[in-house]
Each structure stands twice: as C-alpha cells, then as structure tokens.
Amino acid sequence: MIRIVGAGMVGASLATAMAKQGHSVCLYEKSTWAPSGESDARVSALNQNSLDWLESIGIRPAVHPFKRMHVFAERASSDLVWEDPHSMGALVVNNALQGAAIESAKAAGVQLEYGRSLRWDDGLWVDDVPVQSDLCVAADGARSQLRAQVGLTLQPRDTGQNATFLRVHMDPNFADTTAQVFLQTGPLAFLPVAEDQAVLVWSRDLQAEPLPDSAERIAELAASAFEHRFGRFTALGPATQVALYDGHVSQYHKDGVVLVGDAAHQIHPLAGQGVNLGLADAQALVAAISKRGPGVPALRQYARERYWPNEATRQGMRALQHAFGSPFVPLAALSALVLRTFSYSNTLRRASHSIASGRYNQG
C-alpha cells in the first residue's frame, strides 16, 4: 500500500500515476471541500513536459494554450518574445487541475480519504490507529506537517515580496499571449485563462507602496504597467494576496517517508515553475519505483534525480528576482543586457525555451 498525504495538484496526479502502475494507493486530504475551477483566481502555466505526462496518465483538465510569451523590463529597451505557432504550453486554473486529478485518481481505484490525515510518530498513524505502508509520500504542500513530524526540515526564506492575484476581463486579441513585465518593485504577469479572461499575478516588494484596495484600480495600474500593450483590463472580482517564500530541503526522504512538490521545495512564482517541478518530482518517483520497487534504492535514485534541477530552478528565480528588482542603474542595465542577449543568442533562446517547455526540469 502506498499512502499519499495531500490531494493537491501534485499529490492527486501522483496517486493516479501510482494506481495506474498497479499499486494500491490511499490518498489523504485534510480539506473536505471538492475543488471547482470556477472560483479559483490561482492559475499555473503548465510546460510541455507536465502536459505530456498528465495526458499519459489520463488527467485532462480544461487548459488554455498559449503560443507567445512576452517579457520585458521597466526602463529597458529590449523585449524578449518566444513564439511557437503550435503551442508553448498552457494555463490551467489550479482548482481545475486538482479536480481533474482527483477524478482520475478515483477512476484509477485510489481510495480517497477526505477530511483525514496521516501522522508520523515512530510509525504511521491514522487517528489513533497504527497503519502499515510500503511507502508514504508527503505531498501536503509548503507547510507540510508530515515533513516536520518525520524530522526533515525546510527553512523558508522570506522573499520580501507578496503576490496579488486578480481575475480580469481582457481584449480577446491577446488570448494566446502570456506576458511578464519586470518592474523595480517586482514582476507582474498576465496569464489568459479563457478567450476574454486573464489572471494578473503581481509580485511586489513589501517595502513598496501597497497596491490600492480597489480591484478596479489595480486592473488599471496593471494595464498601465504593461504600457497598454495588452489593452484594458476590467476586474472580475476582489484581489487576493499571499506572502511569497522560497526554500528547499536538503534531504528528500527519511524512514520510508518521501517528499514531493511544495513539501520539498518552494520557489518564487515569477517564471511559473512551481507546479511543473512538483509534477516532474511525481514523474521521477513513479519511474524510480517502477524500476526498483518502493524501497530505499528507489528513493535514493529519485532524490539524486530531482535535487539539482529543483535547486537550479530555485536559484535561477532568486537571481532573476534580484537582477530585475535592483534600484541600482548598473544592475538594471545588466538586466537590459541579459534581455538583449537572450533576444539575439540562438543558443540562449534554445536553452531558455527548454526551461520554459520543461525539458530542463526532467533531471
């Protein structure tokens, strides 16, 4: 029996894949609500590797493909534009992916325990009953309790920024374009989720002047920060805010408990890689277990394969956050130079495209 704690996007996808490999799987989720795509302002940009893997295990959420990615920096003259006439990836509302993954898990025979959890105390327990397990996976997110109970530590670093999400109505002419502008106070992303709707994710220094309370005003400020290149935005609901942390465990498994997704690593969302890393973890864990069985050798192989791609991505996001956020002219100029170099160098463009499409994250 494989026990997975946390039916988020990563845990529910992993449960589906494990069940499809013939394992008995029990999935514990502390929430009691059923996710619904409609209400969620949170959205993820899935890269091609994630999309291919989800498709291969039969998870097919409603996604919104994009063909163009547009990046520029405040005060820099260069833009970076990636284009692929077929598709560069797709945006998915987090609840929609989580809901589709849970439905696929149920269809694959996963036993789903809503409103319940599993704890480690010199062994695994559900309520006051000890349980046996061939493997226990902590997919319970950034504040993983199971990680702490088993004695694996992650010291989250405050990025000094928070993120504001806002769903907006937008010009359908830009439905296949995602965009990001690096402002001095932090990056602002434009992520279309339907023909005429997008989610704005605005990461901002805590020291900067706070965004206004009015969602309508935030939408106007965002359109202006994008220099009106993507038309007008009209707010479709209240804005929500979360604090941003980053961190990474140094050890991925202990006493038969293994970490995946945000339980193992959190990164700044500026390149939208968080859930992609988590799905790549799930993919690597399934492959290691199908080759070696659910014991320590498979967990070692999984940890070896995933540590460096996850750490390199985390460090890359930190470097970008600092380079583009600098108030000093030389660093801002360097950011412009980086963008220009990316625009002109085929090698760098190919490398960055492989990061964007997920091939770099496969370990």
Ligand X SMILES: Cc1cc2nc3c(=O)[nH]c(=O)nc-3n(C[C@H](O)[C@H](O)[C@H](O)COP(=O)(O)OP(=O)(O)OC[C@H]3O[C@@H](n4cnc5c(N)ncnc54)[C@H](O)[C@@H]3O)c2cc1C
> Considering the rule CB under 6 A, would residue 37 count as an interface residue with ligand X?
no
Query: Which one of 2, 3, 4, 5 is in contact with ligand X (CB under 6 A)?
Result: 5
Task: Please state, in angstroms and rounded to a whole number, the distance separating the CA atoms of residues 89 and 69.
Answer: 10
Q: Which is nearer to ligand X, 42 or 169 (CB)?
A: 42
Q: Which tokens is 146 given?
A: 């199971």
Q: Which is nearer to ligand X, 262 or 336 (CB)?
A: 262
Task: Please state, in angstroms and rounded to a whole number, the distance separating the CA atoms of residues 133 and 294.
Answer: 10
CB 53 to ligand X: min, Å:
13
Binding positions for ligand X, 174-213, rule CB under 6 A:
201
CB 18 to ligand X: min, Å:
15
CB 294 to ligand X: min, Å:
20
Q: Taking Cα atoms as reference points, which of 251, 282, 249, 285 lies closest to residue 267?
A: 249
> With CB under 6 A as the contact rule, which of the stretches 23-31, 103-111, 230-238, 319-327 interacts with ligand X?
23-31
Residue found by looking up tokens 């499409």 in the block: 357
Write the DSSP assignment of 39-74 as a string of letters: G---EEEE-HHHHHHHHHTT-----EEESEEEEEET
Q: Which is nearer to ligand X, 151 or 293 (CB)?
A: 151
Site string for ligand X, 74-113 (x = CB under 6 A): ----------------------------------------
Binding positions for ligand X, 115-144, rule CB under 6 A:
117, 139-142
Task: Please state, in angstroms and rounded to a whole number, the distance separating the CA atoms of residues 225 and 38.
Answer: 27
> Considering the rule CB under 6 A, would residue 278 count as an interface residue with ligand X?
yes
Q: Where are the alpha helices (DSSP H) in 79-144?
A: 94-107
Query: Among positive and negative, which fits the CA dihedral 230, 231, 235, 241?
Result: positive
> Considering the rule CB under 6 A, would residue 149 count as an interface residue with ligand X?
no
CB 345 to ligand X: min, Å:
26
> Considering the rule CB under 6 A, would residue 305 count as an interface residue with ligand X?
no
CB 6 to ligand X: min, Å:
3
DSSP reduced 3-state for 298 = helix
| Nearest residue to ligand X on Cβ basis | 8
Q: What does residue 122 show for φ and ψ, rounded to 5 degrees?
A: 60, 35
> Considering the rule CB under 6 A, would residue 10 count as an interface residue with ligand X?
yes
CB 113 to ligand X: min, Å:
9
Site string for ligand X, 210-249 (x = CB under 6 A): --------------------------------x-x-----
Query: Which one of 48, 145, 197, 357 is in contact with ligand X (CB under 6 A)?
Result: 145
> Considering the rule CB under 6 A, would residue 358 count as an interface residue with ligand X?
no
Write the DSSP assignment of 264-287 as a string of letters: TEE--GGG--HHHHHHHHHHHHHH
Report angle CA 165, 166, 170 to the nearest 5 degrees.
Answer: 135
CB 58 to ligand X: min, Å:
18
Instruction: State how beta strands 2-5 and 25-29 pair.
Output: parallel
Q: Which is nearer to ligand X, 111 or 343 (CB)?
A: 111
By CB under 6 A, the count of residues binding ligand X is 32
Q: Which residues is 178 bridged to in the sheet?
A: 69
Inter-CA distances, 201 with 168, 320, 324, Å: 11, 16, 16
Task: Please state, in angstroms and rounded to a whole number, the distance separating the CA atoms of residues 336 and 6.
Answer: 41
Query: Which one of 2, 18, 26, 29 is in contact with ligand X (CB under 6 A)?
Result: 29
Task: Please state, in angstroms and rounded to a whole number, the distance separating the CA atoms of residues 40 and 45.
Answer: 14
Q: Where are the alpha helices (DSSP H) in 166-295?
A: 215-225, 274-292
Q: Which is nearer to ligand X, 101 or 288 (CB)?
A: 101
Residues 44/274, Cβ–Cβ less than 8 Å: yes
> Considering the rule CB under 6 A, would residue 44 count as an interface residue with ligand X?
yes
- The residues that touch ligand X, with contacts defined as CB under 6 A, are 5-11, 28-31, 44-45, 117, 139-142, 145, 163, 201, 242, 244, 261-262, 269, 272-276, 278
